[in-house]
Amino acid sequence: MTDFAATKAMFHLPGGVIYLDGNSLGPLPLAAPARVGAMMQQEWGDMLITAWNKAGWMDQPRRLGDRIGRLIGAEPGSVVLGDTLSIKVYQALASALEMRPDRPVILSDSGNFPSDLYMAEGLIRSLGRGHELRVVAPEDLADAVDDSVAALLVTEVDYRTGRRHDLADLTARTHRAGALAIWDLAHSAGALPVAVAEEGADFAVGCTYKYLNSGPGGPAFIYVAPRHADHVRPALSGWLGHEAPFAFDPAYRPAPGVERMRVGTPPILQLAALEAALDIWDGVDMDALRRASLALTDRFIAGVEAACPALTLVTPRDHAQRGSQVSFRHPDGYAIMQALIARGLIGDFRAPDILRFGFTPLYIDAGDVDRAVAVLAEVMEQRLWDRLEYRERRRVT
Amino acid sequence: MTDFAATKAMFHLPGGVIYLDGNSLGPLPLAAPARVGAMMQQEWGDMLITAWNKAGWMDQPRRLGDRIGRLIGAEPGSVVLGDTLSIKVYQALASALEMRPDRPVILSDSGNFPSDLYMAEGLIRSLGRGHELRVVAPEDLADAVDDSVAALLVTEVDYRTGRRHDLADLTARTHRAGALAIWDLAHSAGALPVAVAEEGADFAVGCTYKYLNSGPGGPAFIYVAPRHADHVRPALSGWLGHEAPFAFDPAYRPAPGVERMRVGTPPILQLAALEAALDIWDGVDMDALRRASLALTDRFIAGVEAACPALTLVTPRDHAQRGSQVSFRHPDGYAIMQALIARGLIGDFRAPDILRFGFTPLYIDAGDVDRAVAVLAEVMEQRLWDRLEYRERRRVT
């Protein structure tokens, strides 16, 4: 049994705010500033360079990788932290293409996050060997896996719509076609149960600053299936992925296992914040989290549909196809979101017309959902968004 | 006139320690913990997602890039922060190879940091187009630039020996041969005056956690000469290098200028620490820094050579060929460094036999040098390193 009232008490949640944007940036764990401060003073400050060994900094990417591994169903020692999600996507793709040298296609879908597609595009252009990035509609992905495909690159939960792919089925199809499956878990890790080992992902990548609450710019993670980890040859062959970084060998020899996916010096301040965030996750049962998440998204959908007929639901009603966010469509979506934010309901807007609300049981409860519905109803009923101040164009994150 | 007593007072320097390893990890700026703490509480904590705009997080990599730009002689708007140095080396190399498609060679030297060579090796292997990484002895580099060379990849100051290359001369030769010059400033930025614009570097990269004191795992920087910045096509084409990241365009269009070298979400905690570190640099005159650095290294060389005849100087005596570190060679270098560290003199060891000492006028003064010489003399005279505890093998950073 997970006590979500207890986890909620572990976050700093500003008064007067209902925060439904934890799928973009998780809130501050109360323990994080002291943890980072202690790391800075007692480790960086007092131990100086010796902290790389004495304070365990060098092993942090692997140690915290294992703690994330538990949340995504990974084998111990198969997950490592570092870099950004885009870099990790590149590493997985480059490895997969090399493992399937006779196959020209990276298959993805138009619901994928653009940066995944950009990284694939950049890799293909660099390689200059006539690879193709084939992007199909999300619903066509399952039937598009054929024997020209080297790698399937799929983000489980669509960042705009909240639609969830069936990764077990897609991965089985991918393997039957002789291809490799790369999962992007940006909107999955910490959002719902994931089973990378059981369902056979070849590679998985994700970020830590959304549902995992590591703070702005927290490092990404990468999973490499143990059956591949000693064979893949990293394209981004940095010194910390070397078998013996401090031998300063002139030739690159990859480290055993997933650690070869490390590149450069890990970001120790960000890792300290992540560590504080992961302490909150230690007691959480992922099935209980999923049940709570579905109850929250069901409640929000029912409330908004009853109170705001002008908003069109985008997220699937079918639980199996839903992540942990709810999106509605409205032509004035941008201005509506500004009006909501001005009233303390923080969600976000995704072009061209999507209002997106993330539900994170660790710190969002039924009372928050009801208050959010009430604010949304007020804004819609009174057309509060229809003011110049909310219609002004500005960059939205 | 730079007041180095004043800058020294801005660092946390633990009692009983003489810290000559700032060329590996700079010490803690006293203002950094409060800066990071305030960022975490008031920005991440209270502003949540809105801090990306409200607190200026999104522009931080460019804004701080300009402040580093001043220290390396770069044009405003030509430096941006992010990722690790290895990733930035990869970006510069990939761009350079694409700009010289008919030339097969990346030229570097055996004094370069291994990760630079590993990244070149990985890139070449990925591209699979028969490029060659040609590694010559440091003293042969100037004569090895010929018209087969696409890019010269040179680290100005050798991480082991402290030997400094003549970048102006190497770059002029490189350009005469029709090739591009990539400078790695890992041991230069904040260590000595650098003139990327005046001396015509095509690309320059560096890290911030050594002489710039941004803390463990602080982000790297990249400079792209403005004459190239709107033309290079990034291989690592991430969303934050896109012209309009929040348009979520399915196709990649590079941002104007150096910002196209951004990849993913920037590490905001590390950037806050860097910002505090850069405040210390604001008043520093780089020529005064260089004079102070040479005075410190001269004093250390003279002191050690007088007191410790068993140590062999590796670093050039010629000022023009010296960075801001001094290295000595001894077959028992590893054990000697352990004995020094046990007595509070922190330098570092680089295999197979090098004792390395960094001199950073911001917080190291003549008194520190004299104390360091005394500790070294004591350890050498009494053969204090010749104890089992110092001879034990362990990983050294």
Which tokens is B41 given?
Answer: 């509480």
Sequence-ordered alpha helix ranges (H) in B196-344: 226-229, 268-281, 286-307, 333-342
Query: Is the same domain home to A238 and A316?
Result: no
Residue B387 binned pLDDT confidence (cut-offs 50, 70, 90): confident
Residue A397 in domain: no
Residue with tokens 């270098």: B333
Q: Using one digit for the tens of pLDDT, what is the confidence trace for B214-241?
A: 999 999 999 999 999 999 999 999 999 9
Q: What is the 3-state secondary structure (H, E, C) of B29-55?
A: ECCHHHHHHHHHHHHHHHHHHHHHHHC
Query: Is the same domain home to A181 and A47?
Result: yes
Q: Is B88 a catalytic residue?
A: no
User: CA B41, B44, B46, B50: dihedral to nearest 10 degrees?
Assistant: 160
Q: Judge contact between B265 and A186, C-beta under 8 A.
A: no
Of B28, B114, B251, the CB nearest to A239: B114
Q: ∠B127-B131-B134 over CA atoms, to 5°?
A: 135
Residue B395 binned pLDDT confidence (cut-offs 50, 70, 90): very low
pLDDT for the residue B391: 79
Q: What is the CA radius of gyration of chain B?
A: 22
- Span A63-89, average pLDDT: 98
pLDDT for the residue B1: 66
Distance from chain centroid for Cα A394: 25
Nearest chain A residue to B20, by CA:
A49
Residue B112 in domain: yes
C-alpha dist (Å) from residue A268 to A59, B45, B262: 11, 20, 20
Return the exposure string of B278-297: e unless at least 16 CB atoms fall within 10 Å of the residue's CB, then b. bebbeebebeebbebbbebb
Residue A393 has pLDDT above 70, yes or no: no
Query: Is the same domain home to A178 and A249?
Result: yes
- Which of the listed residues A254, A281, A308 is the one where a domain comes to its end? A281
Residue B397 in domain: no
d(CA A24, CA A357): 10
Residue A391 has pLDDT above 90, yes or no: no
CA distance A333 to chain B (A): 14
Residue B177 has pLDDT above 50, yes or no: yes
Q: Using one digit for the tens of pLDDT, what is the confidence trace for A111-137?
A: 999 999 999 999 999 999 999 999 999
Residue B396 in domain: no
Q: Judge contact between B152 and B138, C-beta under 8 A.
A: no
* Number of alpha helices (DSSP H) and beta strands (DSSP E) in chain A: 15, 15
Selecting among B67, B103, B210, B322, the annotated active-site residue is B210
Sign of CA dihedral A15, A19, A24, A29: positive
Residue B390 has pLDDT above 90, yes or no: no
CATH number for position A207: 3.40.640.10
Query: Is the same domain home to A299 and A346?
Result: yes
- Span B183-211, average pLDDT: 98
Q: Judge contact between A328 and A40, C-beta under 8 A.
A: no
Selecting among B11, B209, B223, B328, the annotated active-site residue is B209
Query: Is the same domain home to A277 and A169?
Result: yes
Query: Is the same domain home to B119 and B240?
Result: yes
| Preferred mutation among A60, A98, A115 to probe B, highest tally of B CBs within 10 A | A115
Within 8 A of B263 by CB-CB distance, chain A residues are: 84, 86-87
d(CA B109, CA B113): 9
Query: Is the same domain home to A132 and A224?
Result: yes
- Sequence-ordered list of residues with C-beta below 8 angstroms from that of B78, at least 6 positions apart, any chain: B65, B69, B196, B197, B223, B224, B225, B226, B229, B257, B258
CATH number for position A300: 3.90.1150.10
Q: Using one digit for the tens of pLDDT, what is the confidence trace for B301-356?
A: 999 999 999 999 999 999 999 999 999 999 999 999 999 999 999 999 998 999 99
- Span A246-261, average pLDDT: 94
Residue A209 in domain: yes
- Tell if the CB–CB gap between B122 and A235 is shorter than 8 Å: yes
Residue among A118, A121, A182 nearest A154 (CA):
A182
Q: Using one digit for the tens of pLDDT, what is the confidence trace for A271-325?
A: 999 999 999 999 899 999 999 999 999 999 999 999 999 999 999 999 999 999 9
Query: Is the same domain home to A276 and A312?
Result: no
Selecting among B184, B202, B353, B368, the annotated active-site residue is B184
d(CA B156, CA B116): 12
First and final C-alpha spacing in chain A: 35
Which tokens is A269 given?
Answer: 């301040």
User: CA B40, B41, B45, B47: dihedral to nearest 10 degrees?
Assistant: -90
CA distance B117 to chain A (A): 7
Residue B393 binned pLDDT confidence (cut-offs 50, 70, 90): low
Residue A394 has pLDDT above 80, yes or no: no
Residue A47 in domain: yes
- Tell if the CB–CB gap between B87 and A83 is shorter than 8 Å: yes
Q: Determine phi and psi for A84, rounding to 5 degrees.
A: -115, 165
Give the whole-number percent of chain A exceeding pLDDT 90.
94
Residue A395 has pLDDT above 60, yes or no: no
Sequence-ordered alpha helix ranges (H) in chain B: 4-8, 32-38, 46-47, 51-54, 60-71, 85-99, 114-127, 141-144, 167-176, 226-229, 268-281, 286-307, 333-342, 366-381, 388-391
Distance from chain centroid for Cα A53: 30
Query: Is the same domain home to A20 and A164?
Result: no
For residue B322, how many other CB atoms are within 10 A of its CB?
22
Residue type, A54: K
Domain extent, residue B344, equals 4-29+285-391
pLDDT for the residue B396: 43
Pairing of β A345-346 and β A18-19: parallel
Distance from chain centroid for Cα B378: 32
pLDDT for the residue A1: 66
Number of folded domains that form chain B: 2
Of B25, B84, B220, the CB nearest to A49: B25
ipTM (interface pTM) = 0.97
Residue among B52, B206, B91, B92 nearest A86 (CA):
B91
Average pLDDT of chain A? 96
Least confident window among A150-164, A208-222, A239-253 = A239-253
Q: Is B393 a catalytic residue?
A: no
Residue A342 has pLDDT above 50, yes or no: yes
d(CA A213, CA A2): 18
Instruction: Give binding residues of B for pyridoxal 5'-phosphate as ranges.
Output: 85-86, 113-116, 155, 184, 187, 209, 239, 265
Within 8 A of B217 by CB-CB distance, chain A residues are: 265-271
Query: Is the same domain home to A292 and A220?
Result: no
Give the whole-number percent of chain A exceeding pLDDT 70.
98
Helix (H, G, I), strand (E, B) or coil at A265: coil
Residue A2 has pLDDT above 50, yes or no: yes
- Which of the listed residues A223, A252, A281 is the one where a domain comes to its end? A281
Residue among B171, B166, B194, B195 nearest B181 (CA):
B171
First and final C-alpha spacing in chain B: 35
pLDDT for the residue A396: 43
Query: Is the same domain home to A147 and A16?
Result: no
d(CA B78, CA B225): 7
Within 8 A of A93 by CB-CB distance, chain B residues are: none
Helix (H, G, I), strand (E, B) or coil at A174: helix
- Tell if the CB–CB gap between B17 and A247 is shorter than 8 Å: no
Helix (H, G, I), strand (E, B) or coil at B122: helix
Which tokens is A254 given?
Answer: 């990859």
- Span A193-197, average pLDDT: 98
pLDDT for the residue A387: 86
Query: Is the same domain home to A65 and A22?
Result: no
Which tokens is B332 given?
Answer: 């028992």
Number of inter-chain CB pairs under 8 A, A vs B: 289
Residue B397 binned pLDDT confidence (cut-offs 50, 70, 90): very low
- Which of the listed residues B246, B265, B281 is the one where a domain comes to its end? B281
Residue A396 in domain: no
CA distance B353 to chain A (A): 12
pLDDT for the residue A397: 40
- Tell if the CB–CB gap between B49 and A270 is shorter than 8 Å: no
Residue B267 in domain: yes
d(CA A139, CA A92): 24
Which tokens is A211 given?
Answer: 């549902």
Sign of CA dihedral B171, B174, B179, B184: negative
- The DSSP-derived string for A194-253 is --TTTTT-SEEEEESSSTT---TTPPEEEEE-HHHHTT---SS--GGGBSSGGG--SS--
